[in-house]
Amino acid sequence: DMSQSMAAKHSIWPREKDIIFNLSARAQQAEKELGTNNVINATIGALMDDEGKLITMDTVYDEYKSLDNKDISAYAALEGQPDYLEAVKKVCFKDYLPEGYIKAVASPGGSGAIKLAAWNYTEEGDEVLTSDWFWSPYVSITEEIGRKVTTYKLFDEQNNFNFNSFKESFLNIASKQERIFTILNTPAHNPTGYSIPDEEWDKIIDLAKEVSKNPDKKIIFFVDIAYIDFASDDNASRKFFKKFSNLPENVLTIVGFSMSKGFTAYGMRMGSAICITSSENVSEEFYYACVHSCRANWSNCNRGAMKLLSNIVNDEAKFKAYTEEKNKHKQMLRRRADVFVKEAEKVGLDILPYRDGFFVSIPCENSRAVCEELTKDNLFMVPLKAGLRFAVCAVNEDKCKIAPSMIKNALEYIKSK
Ligand code: PLP
């Protein structure tokens, strides 16, 4: 009986099963029945070893298990433990700390940081800008609070960053809203594996500066760096942070930091929203706005996870050991992605420009039908609106080598039907 509804009107959403979850459950079922060797499960958004088991870094979990119970149990500061917030700045920016007022507030994962930023830096009814290929929770997070995601085209015909499309959408929002809130997921974008090149960042920032000449406009860049620790070059992938130095006071950057991928700490729910601004007042306002939201939503965050990060980052030897362990996994990821990209080229499978990260995307029509077709070959991937997402993070090299031709065949078969 659908007529009886107890939930508030704004809380009633379509009763759709999460498609990622569903395919991932089917993949796991197939693995159970046929053995992992005979199944390609490319649905998972976490780093898996070659046998398909979750990778958990020893340098992280040995440290976690050595913590004093009290460091896990006690309440933490609402804004995050001071040593955690310092450690976050250190690992986030490394040698590329921008100039200005930089303040971090703890959040439950990168997701919590997105919520903090979207809630405090947009008005009800506002459009929020991101690219047409995007991580779908951006919609859930903003839609729940009455905001709406609008998209620009991420790529042009040559598969380069489509600055013209970005500019058009940005100016369109600027013409009707006070705030222009943009989410840029880079480097190692989910789902495409693309990273915005530094020259394109220059154009984006010049555009922001131009629009900021109107003092009534407020420009907020939310930079989602969830995958930065798995970009091949730690330094090159951080250079763009310096570009957020000395921008006009009505341009604010908020970086969304997450421990999920970089520290294989997905379930620990620890991250941070970090503001970069040339105005001390804007940074103080950021701090108080976010701390209020923390109190009002989840109170404090995971103290043990905070202690874990600061212990590793503030100890040279531990940080070195962690970095070495992570780099081994990073190299594994790079090899898998290289094999997939190379093989795709060989068999003539069009993919989006992969640079770094956990995923490769294949543009296509009828993505659901293609995914369904591929399940017959025991290959499971995630259908998106405009294509397919293949998780190189979860699939070993041998499977990354055979997958592209399987996908190519399925695409042709569905097209021919
Ligand atoms: N942003 C992107 C693009 C992601 O893919 C993820 C996780 O999958 C996140 C942010 C946030 O993850 P978490 O909330 O676990 O830190």
Distance between Cα 110 and ligand 1 center (Å) = 5
Kindly state whether residues 307 and 339 are assigned to the same domain: no
What share of the chain has pLDDT > 70, as a percent?
Answer: 99
Instruction: Please give the pLDDT value at position 232.
Output: 87
- pLDDT single digits (tens) 233-246: 999 999 999 999 99
258 within ligand 1 shell (Cβ under 6 A): yes
Instruction: Report the nearest atom of ligand 1 relative to the CA of 256.
Output: 10
Instruction: Report the nearest atom of ligand 1 relative to the CA of 113.
Output: 14
Mean pLDDT across 304-315: 98
Q: Where are the alpha helices (DSSP H) in 231-315?
A: 280-297, 303-313
Instruction: Please give the pLDDT value at position 258.
Output: 98
What is the b/e burial string over 13-32, where b = at least 16 CB atoms within 10 angstroms of the residue's CB? Answer: eeeeeeebeebbebbbebbe
Kindly state whether residues 284 and 155 are assigned to the same domain: yes
Mean pLDDT across 163-173: 98
230 within ligand 1 shell (Cβ under 6 A): no
Kindly state whether residues 300 and 339 are assigned to the same domain: no
Q: 286, 317, 348 — which closes off a domain?
A: 317
- pLDDT single digits (tens) 109-134: 999 999 999 999 999 999 999 999 99
What share of the chain has pLDDT > 90, as a percent?
Answer: 95
Query: CB under 8 Å to 388, separation ≥6 — which residues?
Result: 361, 362, 364, 367, 370, 371, 381, 382, 407
Query: Domain for residue 38, yes or no?
Result: yes
Distance between Cα 74 and ligand 1 center (Å) = 26
Distance between Cα 348 and ligand 1 center (Å) = 31
**Nearest CA residue ID for atom 2, ligand 1:** 226
Instruction: Please give the pLDDT value at position 252.
Output: 98
Kindly state whether residues 131 and 246 are assigned to the same domain: yes
- Whether 2 shows a pLDDT value over 70: the answer reads no
C-alpha closest to that of 92 among 283, 290, 231: 231
Q: Where are the alpha helices (DSSP H) in 298-364?
A: 303-313, 316-347
**Nearest CA residue ID for atom 5, ligand 1:** 190
Q: Count of alpha carbons within 13 Å of 133, Cβ hemisphere only?
A: 31
Kindly state whether residues 273 and 358 are assigned to the same domain: no
45 within ligand 1 shell (Cβ under 6 A): yes
Distance between Cα 65 and ligand 1 center (Å) = 25
3-state helix, strand, coil in the chain (%, to 5): 50, 15, 35
- Whether 45 shows a pLDDT value over 60: the answer reads yes
User: Which helix (H) or strand (E) covers residue 64, if one does?
Assistant: helix 58-65
- pLDDT single digits (tens) 286-306: 999 999 999 999 999 999 999
Instruction: Please give the pLDDT value at position 417.
Output: 87
Question: What token pair was written down for 246?
Answer: 């000395």
100 within ligand 1 shell (Cβ under 6 A): no
Query: Domain for residue 4, yes or no?
Result: no
- Whether 343 shows a pLDDT value over 60: the answer reads yes
46 within ligand 1 shell (Cβ under 6 A): no
185 within ligand 1 shell (Cβ under 6 A): yes
Kindly state whether residues 127 and 271 are assigned to the same domain: yes
Distance between Cα 111 and ligand 1 center (Å) = 6
Instruction: Please give the pLDDT value at position 146.
Output: 97
Confidence of residue 15 (pLDDT cuts 50, 70, 90): confident
CA 183 to chain centre: 10
Structural domain count, the chain: 2
Query: Domain for residue 1, yes or no?
Result: no
Confidence of residue 356 (pLDDT cuts 50, 70, 90): very high
- Whether 332 shows a pLDDT value over 60: the answer reads yes
- Whether 48 shows a pLDDT value over 80: the answer reads yes
Instruction: Please give the pLDDT value at position 16.
Output: 77
Give the range of the structural domain holding residue 156, as residue numbers without chain letter.
62-317
Instruction: Report the nearest atom of ligand 1 relative to the CA of 189.
Output: 3
**Nearest CA residue ID for atom 1, ligand 1:** 226
- pLDDT single digits (tens) 275-287: 999 999 999 999 9
Q: Which of 18, 20, 111 to mutate to test the pocket of ligand 1 (most atoms within 8 A of CB)?
A: 111
**Nearest CA residue ID for atom 7, ligand 1:** 226
Q: 268, 286, 317 — which closes off a domain?
A: 317
Distance between Cα 210 and ligand 1 center (Å) = 31
Kindly state whether residues 247 and 301 are assigned to the same domain: yes
96 within ligand 1 shell (Cβ under 6 A): no
- Whether 22 shows a pLDDT value over 90: the answer reads no
Distance between Cα 377 and ligand 1 center (Å) = 29
- Dihedral sign for Cα 323, 326, 328, 334, please: negative
Q: What CATH code is carried by the domain that includes residue 172? A: 3.40.640.10
pTM over the 0.90 mark: yes
Mean pLDDT, the chain, whole residue set:
96
Instruction: Please give the pLDDT value at position 14.
Output: 86
Confidence of residue 1 (pLDDT cuts 50, 70, 90): low
Mean pLDDT across 147-153: 98
Q: 317, 342, 369 — which closes off a domain?
A: 317
Kindly state whether residues 215 and 68 are assigned to the same domain: yes
Q: Which of 21, 135, 194 to mutate to test the pocket of ligand 1 (most atoms within 8 A of CB)?
A: 135
Q: What CATH code is carried by the domain that includes residue 412? A: 3.90.1150.10
